[in-house]
Structure 1
Amino acid sequence: MAALLCSLLSADGGKVLVFPADGSHWVNMKVLIQELHSRGHNITVIKPKTSGYIKAESHQYQSITLDVVPGFDVNEMNNFATKMMQLLREFHISGLAYIKAGDEFMKMVDNIHKAVVDKMQKIFEDAKLMQFFQEAEYDVLLTDPCFGGGVLLAHRLGLPLVFNVRWTILEDGHYTVAPSPLSYVPIVGSELTDKMSFWQRVKNVFFSLMVLYNRNMIKEPHYTPFVHRHFGPDVHYDELVQAADIWLMRTDFTFEFPRPTMPNIVYMGGFQCKPSKVLPQDLKDFVQSSAEHGVIIMSLGTLVGNLPEDIAEDVAAAFAQLPQKVIWRHTGKRPSTLGNNTLLVDWLPQNDLLGHPKTRLFVAHGGTNGLQEAIYHGVPIVGLPLVFDQRDNLFRMRAKGVARVLDIGTLNKDNFLEVLKVVLYEPSYRKNIQELSRLHRDQPMKPLDRAMFWIEFVMRHKGAAHLKTNSYKMSWIQYHCIDVITLLLASVTLMSLICILTVKCLWCKVFGGKKNNPK
């Protein structure tokens, strides 16, 4: 560790401490790290002892491996995804399956956040480690606030804080930092747009209360006692999150519905997207053999390499009836219904395939990274949402007319084939996604360059205090001016009462006196 400290202190450029989230979140964090490294900055990554994604050694960053930082167990997450798929399929038989799926998700999230806080306690108690962090004199801490470890460490070290964000604890980052009127800002998961009827607004409020309840169920027992212990009894966890200097938001308004934002929110949707490269020769030959029919790409992300066998059989049978060639990332048993037009692969260069001119359709699970690549390259989507925010992501794409969505619980050969044909042969889907692609690309600055500018801005100026609102320091009563409204109502009431009493008094004096003086 001493050798690492010496190398940090002697390095040129800014010093960036990265506290990442593992899994797919690391995939896009790594893009920022690579670009920061190319610009001459010195990067240190806090790495879990066991990680399915983050490597201990890299020429782009140095790592500090801590066994107290939660890692990402690939097998465990695969098992969770499989279990959730089974429950979603049962949902169409029994409504209890939906409740069970939600319960399983909340249990997993609760356990993860409990582990984060417990392990951060050990970090804070390690005097040598904390001294090491202090003496390294980092310029900024870059973290993903879906878990709170990076937020807590940044405030303990007194470092400027930059978020690579889509989620805070169980909610879209916008709801944590920006005004979000429920009349036209749909809650994630509600499957509503920004144009709501009365009953849709009722639904939106209900979802808002549900998210607030779930969030407090995680935050209060775990983060609140920790923050009070280390930062003071009057400090709340939300204040630490809302005090971040810059929020690099992994989305933009080709994906989001129009909504209020804040000056320290920087939109970098599609920052990981780039022009496609030449395909490996075997894939190149397979794609070229598709002739005028083109190619369909299917990938369900990093968590799900294979579907249940019966679903895989139906998917393969549907693909076999199409003239298009299909490249399908599938690591499970080879389906017996697989057609000659379908190539199974363990891995595929998704960005390069989506950018190929022969690609006609993307069958996807609805992860943000994949959808942004589809928007960037202008490829329409058939969605098979599985877990987390995927259903809501795909709903947004469906609302914009660029996708059709099929529930995994009802999927069979016939309805899957029907949806594939609709998106392949109805021109509006390709037209709409290509228009989104043009809108996304028509920017004065590339999203990744914009992200780099603001990270370096924070390093140059030791933060971005002038962009942060003080609203997070206000109570709920102050924020909504309840105290002001109460004063005004009390004042109006008092003035009205005085006027009424005055008029009554004058009335009695003028007309009451006449009655007492008979002619």
Structure 2
Amino acid sequence: MTRMYQLSLVTLAVLLCSSPLINGGKILVYPLDGSHWVNMKVIIEELYSRGHELTVMRPSDSWYIKADSPYYKSITINFTAGFDEEGFGSFLTTLLTMQKESNSLWTRIATEYDMTLQAYLWHEQMLQMAEGIFKNTQLMQNLNDSKYDLLLTDPAIAGGVLLGHRLGLPLVFNVRWTIQGEGHLAIAPSPLSYIPMQYTLLTDKMTFTQRIRNLLYYFYTRLQTWYTIDLNYKPFVHRHFGSDVHYMELFQSADIWLMRNDFTFEFPRPTMPNVVYMAGFQCKPSKPLSKELEDFVQSSGEHGVIVMTLGTLVAKLPEDIAEDIAAAFAQLPQKVIWRHTGKRPSTLGNNTLLLDWLPQNDLLGHPKTKVFVAHGGTNGIQEAIYHGVPLVGLPLMFDQHDNFFRMEARGVAKVLDIATVNRDNFLEALREVLYEPSYRDKMKKLSNLHRDQPMKPMDLAIFWIEFVMRHKGAPHLRTESYKMSKIQYYSIDVVAFLLTVVLLVFTVFICVVRFVCSRVFCRSKVKKE
């Protein structure tokens, strides 16, 4: 009986120690759909495994964010975000068509205008969703009553930022972008003399003419921000948070910025104490492939394998481009594994395997993988760096051109323009990366630099999320500079004051000198007379 009693106590102790919610917190997550959700989901699963309770807010037409999950509860907002496969496919087709015709200045202007207009409408739509949440008194009451410890969000959309401030919760960002552009621009000093603006395809070592270009592009982005962001967000924030609050203050007051990059990817630049670099947090050692896939990989012999996928958002390319790519693959001795769900190309060779889905991380980690053909999403590039696989780039949209430019600048990638790609230049790029050793050597070096860290990026990210929960925020890491006006931030008022003082002293000095000189002159004149 005593032994049974002792066994029961031991069992109870084990259950209590392993209970996932004993030290767990309650986290509200406001994610962005699409590829951004893919990396947010990785963090959610890790937080769940460490005993935290997560609730995810999602619009009713979410493409990737599912209502049911073993890792989180969901709150579905009855709202159409317009982020779906059909709409995105149509957008991609239009964008590729414009890029093919971009040899004329008018087409480029039309493309920029169309993209800016789409951005305006998208932000307008996101704010309508936020307005609906704020006006739903029952939902807001439930959120307040839930007593969340923090709100985790992607600041590429503002909904989570606005909701976090409305609920008075500490904010943690899973960030690469804010609504105004690259994340650092909102939080850290960014001198344009050596900080290249996104999309300029410049490095941190700029010539005089390149610095002019960088500055002009900065002013252009400010104009875009005024139209797409200011006109939407200023009225909303003034209405809900006060006329003295600028919408970017709500972003800049976040406690921790978990940046999805590091300085194997980013050019050296100033940063801030509450910016935590977690590039490659989603990367992990490869797992064994399925028997069928392993047999195919092994059949490549000494030539190895090429892996091609264009990410979570693009499963197929226009037929003419797919035909040229397939024809180029067919001329290589390597085996090819290609994620492609469109029409089977007529030029497809026997060395190429088409799949609806492929285990990207496991294939990149396989010793026979020689080249990764990718679109330039941050997740894919970081997995390639982690596993040391050189790249051939087919950037399509958004930040992908800029991401691949950074890899090309480091000598680990060959980049092609999707609008002009054909079987000849694609085949030439593949052969160059396959047979020029410097690509693989430099990527291996980059991989070693990335891996040589005192703490795994995922552990670092989770530590800081839990840090914010333990301390109810991290205000000691947060600069107060965002509360200053431009005049105060750049000390224009101080310089003006000091110049005024100097001018006043100089004026008094001149007056005194003139007065003394006049007195001396008068006395001299009197003596002579």
Q: Which residue, 18, 25, 49 being the options, matches 1:38?
A: 49
Local SS of the residue matching 1:187: coil
- Contact preservation (8 Å) 1:123, 1:130: yes
Secondary structure, aligned partner of 1:463 = coil
1:85 counterpart = 2:96: yes
| Aligned residue in 2 for 1:173 | 183
* Distance in 2 of aligned mates of 1:75 and 1:280: 31
1:376 aligns with 2:386: yes
SS in 1 for 2:79: coil
- Structure 1 segments unaligned to the other structure (5+ residues): 1-9
Unaligned runs of 5+ in 2: 1-20
Q: Is the 8 A contact 1:81 1:303 kept in 2?
A: no
Give the alignment partner of residue 215 of structure 1, picking from 220, 225, 229: 225
Choose the corresponding residue for 2:444, options 434, 439, 452.
Answer: 434
In the aligned structure 2, how far is the partner of 1:337 from the partner of 1:505?
96
Question: Deviation of residue 12 (structure 1)?
Answer: 6.1
CA distance in 2 between partners of 1:437 and 1:33 (Å) = 26
Tell me by how many angstroms 1:112 deviates.
1.4
Aligned residue in 2 for 1:24: 35
Structure 2 counterpart SS, 1:91: coil
Q: Distance in 1 between matches of 2:251 and 2:81?
A: 19
Alignment partners' CA distance in 2, 1:158 and 1:323: 60
CA 1:483–1:69 in structure 2 vs 1: closer, same or farther (change >3 Å)?
farther
Superposition map of 1:120-519 within 5 A:
120-518=130-528
Label 1:66 to 1:11 Cα distance change in 2 as closer, same or farther (>3 A): farther
Letter in structure 2 aligned against 1:280? S
C-alpha separation between the residues in 2 aligned to 1:84 and 1:345?
Answer: 25
Identical aligned pairs, as a percentage? 62
In the alignment, is the contact (CA less than 8 A) between 2:184 and 2:190 conserved in 1? yes
C-alpha change, 1:23 and 1:59, in structure 2 (3 Å) is same
- Structure 1 stretch 219-228 or stretch 349-358: which is displaced more? 219-228
SS of residue in 1 equivalent to 2:373: strand
Which amino acid in structure 1 is aligned with residue 54 of structure 2?
I
> 2:99 aligned with 1:72, yes or no?
no
Change (3 A) 1:263 1:373: same
Report SS of the residue matched to 2:214. helix
TM-score, normalisation: structure 2: 0.94
Offset of residue 128 of structure 1: 0.7
Q: Map Cα deviations across residues 279-323 of structure 1 (whole Å, 9 max, x no partner).
A: 112211111111111111111112222222221111111111111
- Aligned residue number for residue 18 of structure 2: none
Q: Deviations over 1:138-186 (max 9, x none)?
A: 0000000111100010000000000000000140010001110111111
Whole-Å Cα distance in 2 between the matches of residues 423 and 170 of structure 1?
35
What is the CA distance between 1:113 and its match in structure 2? 0.8
CA positional deviation for 1:516: 4.8
| More displaced stretch, 64-73 vs 104-113 | 64-73
For the 8 Å contact 2:391–2:412, the answer to whether it is kept is yes
1:455 Cα deviation after fit: 0.3
Q: For the Cα contact (< 8 Å) 2:155–2:174, is it kept in 1?
A: yes
Mapped partners of 2:424, 2:507: distance in 1: 73
The answer (yes or no) to whether the contact 1:140–1:162 under 8 Å persists in 2 is yes
- 1:384-436 CA-to-partner distances (Å, cap 9, x unmatched) read 11111100000111111111111112111111111111111111111111111
Q: Output the amino acid matched with 2:69.
A: S
CA-based RMSD: 1.4
The structure 1 segments of at least 4 consecutive aligned residues displaced by more than 3 Å after TM superposition are: none
State whether residues 49 and 71 of structure 1, in contact with CA within 8 Å, keep that contact through their aligned partners in structure 2: no
TM-score (norm 1): 0.96
The one-letter code of the counterpart of 2:78 is D
1:7 counterpart residue number: none
Q: CA deviation at 1:69?
A: 6.6
> What code does the residue aligned with 1:306 have?
K
What do the CA deviations read for 1:57-111 (whole angstroms, capped 9, x no partner)? 111111111113736212111211121111111113x232222222222222211
- How much does 1:329 deviate? 1.1
Deviates more, 1:10-19 or 1:101-110: 10-19
SS of 2:101 mapped into structure 1: helix
Aligned positions, number: 509
Match in the other structure for 2:70:
59
Q: Which range moves more in the overlay, 495-504 or 357-366?
A: 495-504
* Secondary structure of the structure 2 residue equivalent to 1:382: strand
Deviation at 1:512, TM superposition (A): 4.9
After superposition, the C-alpha distances for 1:203-245 in whole angstroms (9 at most, x for unaligned) are: 1111111112211212222111111111111011101010000
Q: Which residue of 2 aligns with 1:3?
A: none
* Counterpart contact for 1:402–1:429, Cα < 8 Å: yes
